[in-house]
Amino acid sequence: MEVYLDNAATTPLLPEAEAAIREMIPLYGNPSSLHRKGVEAERRLETARRQVLGALGVREGRIVFTGGGTEANNLAIFGTLKRHGGRGRHIVTTRIEHPSVLEPFRALERAGWRVTYVAPDRDGWVPAERVLEAVADDTVLVSVMHVNNETGAILPVQEIGRHLRQRPKVIFHVDGIQAFGKIPDCLRQAGADLYTVSGHKIGAPKGVGALYIRPGLEIEPVLHGGGQEGGLRSGTENTIGIAALGAAAEHAAARAKERYERVSAWCEQFIARLGQIPGCQVHRPREASPYIVSASFPGLRGEVLVHALESEGVFVSTGSACSSRGGHAKASHVLEAMGLTPAEVTGALRFSFGWHTEEAAVERAAQVIEQQVKWLYDAVGTGGRR
């Protein structure tokens, strides 16, 4: 029995998304063309926009389709500062953001922007007051993720957004990639000006994402060309991927509340099982998504654990898939920012659940994890003692 628990990296294709792909194959027209085939393709794009808006829990706003979550985050950040950079030279984010946010901020810092990187608590949570205290008179942009992709921390974006509304010159961007389709009405809860989503985290194919822009907010394009997507993302749209994203978003939104409650129930059981393994340290933020669990096994290497579990048909990761290159995991900047020891960082694993995950599979995974961890600790002669 194979158990796939790396859904924060990517998910299997939803049947509904697969059906949307098949339906789009004969609708191969360019949505910018004026003839019937172009109009048919354009209609499917507009249907997908409505589906994504619905999944976000709002009725109004612009949906700009992109080539994925990374591009959407870059468009939100650079597009905002190109348009509104005259308001100041200060921007705020956290130390636990995804690289597709951190790297743009570092690039902007090298270009002369003043950046505040807000640190998390040891449990991986970032208090709202810490973010708000970082906001200055010349702050243009605050970018905070909704759900952390390594620890599952649900950051207090609603509280941050509520306070930032009293400072209309500050634009609030939320990376919602790990919340979209999982936290019901995620954007309505966040109250963000800009909200990023990705298709392959919810059962759509890779290579498609979207950026939500609230009504009345204008940003500048990062890509220039034919002016597609309202001039904000030039290039012929990936109509097949977009249709699949719309179908996956609609599917997820209809089941988000029920699925969240169900996953929460057996996630707690899974965490309890991990806690019984000698040497295991579960890193659980005070507010956390049930879809992501982080744990360390100090004295062992995460990469060795990944392959040990894989040999028994259980697939997990050491952390963000975007932080691994050439088959070797980089040290987690998230866990380091939390103040974990080198042994805790090196021995960390991430377990992440998806739309297809069943309770029986999680129970099977818990058994295999316990078995393999005990075997490896015995092999290195620690027995889980540090």
Amino acid identity for residue 8 in this structure: A
* Structural contact between residues 122 and 339, judged by C-beta atoms closer than 8 angstroms: yes
Reply yes or no on whether 322 is catalytic.
Answer: yes
* Structural contact between residues 209 and 68, judged by C-beta atoms closer than 8 angstroms: yes
* Structural contact between residues 332 and 349, judged by C-beta atoms closer than 8 angstroms: no
State the Cα–Cα distance between residues 201 and 209, nearest whole angstrom. Answer: 10
Q: Specify which residues 92 forms β-bridges with.
A: 116, 142
State the Cα–Cα distance between residues 55 and 186, nearest whole angstrom. Answer: 8
State the Cα–Cα distance between residues 205 and 68, nearest whole angstrom. Answer: 10
| Beta strand segments in the chain, E | 3-4, 62-66, 90-94, 114-118, 139-145, 171-175, 194-198, 209-213, 281-283, 292-296, 314-315, 324-325, 328-329, 348-352
Closest CA to 361 of 371, 376, 351: 351
State the Cα–Cα distance between residues 199 and 201, nearest whole angstrom. Answer: 6
Closest CA to 181 of 75, 124, 97, 259: 259
Helix (H, G, I), strand (E, B) or coil at 144: strand
Q: Which of 186, 267, 280, 322 is catalytic?
A: 322
State the Cα–Cα distance between residues 318 and 324, nearest whole angstrom. Answer: 9
Catalytic residues, by residue number, are: 322
